[in-house]
Amino acid sequence: LPRFIGNARSWFSYFRSGVALLLVGLFLNLSFYPDLLKYQAGNQLASFLNKNYPDQQLGRISMYFPSGEFYMKQHVWQTDLLSITNKTFNKAKLLYVTDEELKLLEPNKVNFETLNVFNGFPITMLNLRFLNPATREQELKKTYLLRLP
């Protein structure tokens, strides 16, 4: 450090770079990412379940949503479509499914009640179509919270 202090020009570029990184980091953490978190369906689901169904267990077929599982108070059970259609899955009455999985449940005559629909986007996979407010709605994917009988 003493060798940089002697030469005023050499430490000034490090200082400017440090300030620029600090400002970019503050913008990303205080403004950019908090606004995007509302598009993360797992977070929406966790908030909804913690408020409306705090004591009920949740099942999922293939969806992986680490942010939602982190914020949820209840355990998430993994299952498969066959267990749901054969009615052998009894660890949870609530099921979180994607649009594709919902389309597989309907022809198998699985009875369910749709409790909520979430529009989400994995914010770790940002793209320009999602960042553009005019095309954002087209990028959102629907996920469903179902209640099994």
Give the pLDDT score at 1. Answer: 53
Rounded CA-CA distance 134/118 in Å is 19
What is the average pLDDT across 22-40? 90
Q: Confidence band (pLDDT; 50, 70, 90) for 143? A: very high
Q: What is the share, in percent, of the chain residues with pLDDT greater than 70? A: 93
For residues 13 and 81, which has the higher predicted lDDT (pLDDT)?
A: 81
Q: Is the pTM of this model over 0.75?
A: yes
Rounded CA-CA distance 44/79 in Å is 21
Q: For residue 30, what is the DSSP state?
A: I
Structure tokens given for 29:
């953490």
For residues 13 and 54, which has the higher predicted lDDT (pLDDT)?
A: 54
Tell me which H or E stretch contains 124. none
Give the pLDDT score at 65. Answer: 85
Average pLDDT score, the chain: 88
Structure tokens given for 77:
């059970």
Give the pLDDT score at 17. Answer: 92
How many C-beta neighbours within 10 Å does residue 96 have?
A: 25
Q: Confidence band (pLDDT; 50, 70, 90) for 66? A: confident
Give the pLDDT score at 30. Answer: 93
What is the average pLDDT across 61-72? 86
Rounded CA-CA distance 131/73 in Å is 31
Rounded CA-CA distance 46/29 in Å is 21
